[in-house]
Amino acid sequence: MSRHLRIVLVHPPHESDASLRAAALQAGLVEAGYEIVASLPADLNLPEQIARLQPDMIIVDAESDARDVLEHIVVATRDERRPIVMFTEDEKQSSMDAAMEAGVSAYIVAGLKPERIKPVLSVAMARFRKEQKLLHELADTKHKLAERKVVDRAKGLLMSRHGMTEEQAYQRLRTMAMNKNLKLAEIAQRILDVEDLLG
């Protein structure tokens, strides 16, 4: 899955030491078979550059104040998330597991040894995808629950207004939905809207 993973590297602006580190990291990534689409300074053009390049992953120096610029990107692209991997030299940093457990949008990893890069990124990417899947499932479940509530309310309305049994109310909704080629929840919502309108 690391094939064709498009990565953007972010390095602090005007810092020669950091860009050396970024260069070493870049070499390691290329060796591991990743596609580095850009190495960008963390300045005020960063959000636009990321939006233009649409990378699969962003890698940045965690201790850099560029972190807040990235936070802007995270918030601005909330509906279209991508993993952001943080590298730091600080060995006493909480472990990657702790960071992920905490649910941050970042994966904090100590050390920059080229041979460690690939497994770390693979885990980060897998973890991110799993998280996204869970989030989608959660949103989906919430949506379904909300739909069921609407259908139940519409059924209740038909039952009290027209003295129908629950089964009859449900059949009526289903027939209306089929005739109008609408989803059950949509027809239920229309019935509730009409009730609201006419009181």
- Of 21, 24, 6, 13, give the one whose Cα is nearest residue 88: 21
Residue at 147: amino acid letter = E
Interface with another protein: number of residues (CB under 8 A)? 29
The kind and range of the H/E element at 110 are: strand 106-110
Q: Does 163 bind another protein (CB under 8 A)?
A: no
For the bound state, the minimum distance from the C-beta of residue 51 to another protein, rounded and expressed in Å, comes to 12
- Pick out residues in 49-108 that bind another protein (CB under 8 A): 62-72, 74-76, 78, 93-94, 98-99, 102-106, 108
Q: Which one of 28, 35, 37, 47 is in contact with another protein (CB under 8 A)?
A: 47
Task: Give SS3 for 109.
Answer: strand
Q: Which is nearer to another protein, 50 or 184 (CB)?
A: 50
What is the C-alpha separation between 42 and 22, in angstroms, rounded? 12
Residue at 96: amino acid letter = M
Rg from Cα positions in the chain: 25
For the bound state, the minimum distance from the C-beta of residue 142 to another protein, rounded and expressed in Å, comes to 11
Residues that bind another protein (CB under 8 A): 13, 43-44, 47, 62-72, 74-76, 78, 93-94, 98-99, 102-106, 108
